[in-house]
Amino acid sequence: MPIREVIRMGDPRLLARAREVEAFDTPELHALVMDLEDTMRAMQGAGIAAPQIAVGLRVVIFGGFRSARYPDAEEIPYTVLVNPVLEPLSDETEDGWEGCLSVPGMRGLVPRFRQLRYTGFDAFGRRVDRTVADFHARVVQHECDHLDGILYPMRIRDLRQFGFQDVLFPGDTAADD
């Protein structure tokens, strides 16, 4: 269960569309999820997607943390999500600051749908079906974007709202996303 190297923006593997997982409850899929979890925890991320460790499969994990950066945010349960499908429940969007383990040291203001339903499977092939809002919805959208080769800077509307974390938020020592 090693901690894996997180590849960074500029690597073309972060821009590719990841492939659907076809077999569940396999040793390979469980090992991938464990590597993702170990890597996310080691880097104190809010979530991580398989392409970030150079595995081009539609697997993300997130949650199960208390975020120093979002102390007032709801606690998101630890979630493994394979072959996710996202369905916004309205056109309403909300701006929020994001970071990414693949874009270390940076923060940007990103619009996301405020409410959505997400479906998919866990590593055992059990169905996941949740309706969420706000920070939980933001994290899911950020992680699932990685599966389609989209990094959050590509969604920033006003690039003046993009910069180095320690300059934007002096004294904020929280980890990268």
- Is 98 marked active-site? no
Instruction: Identify which of residues 29 and 100 has a Cβ nearer to Ni ion in the complex.
Output: 100
Find the radius of gyration of the CA atoms of the chain.
Answer: 15
Least Å from the CB of residue 51 to Ni ion: 9
For residues 36 and 100, which CB has a smaller minimum distance to Ni ion in the complex? 100
Q: Which residue among the candidates 28, 74, 92, 143 is catalytic per the annotation?
A: 143
> Cα separations (Å) of 170 from 20, 159, 176?
41, 19, 14
User: What burial class does residue 40 get, using C-beta atoms within 10 Å of its C-beta: 0-12 exposed, 13-18 middle, 19+ buried?
Assistant: buried
DSSP string across 51-94? GGGT--BSEEEE--S--SSSTTSPPPPPEEEEEEEEEESSS-EE
In the chain, where do the E strands start and end? 47-49, 59-62, 79-88, 93-98, 106-113, 115-121, 127-133, 162-164
Binding site for Ni ion (CB under 5 A): 100
CB 90, min distance to Ni ion, A? 24
Which two three-digit tokens encode residue 75? 């606690």
Please say whether the dihedral angle defined by the alpha carbons of residues 152, 154, 155 and 160, taken in this order, is positive or negative. positive
CB-nearer residue toward Ni ion: 13 or 125: 13
At its nearest, how many Å lie between Ni ion and the CB of residue 9?
9
Q: Which residue, 125 or 149, is less far from Ni ion as judged by CB? A: 149
Instruction: Kindly state the smallest distance separating residue 109's Cβ from Ni ion, in Å.
Output: 15
The residue assigned the tokens 């080769």 is 149
What positions carry a catalytic annotation? 143
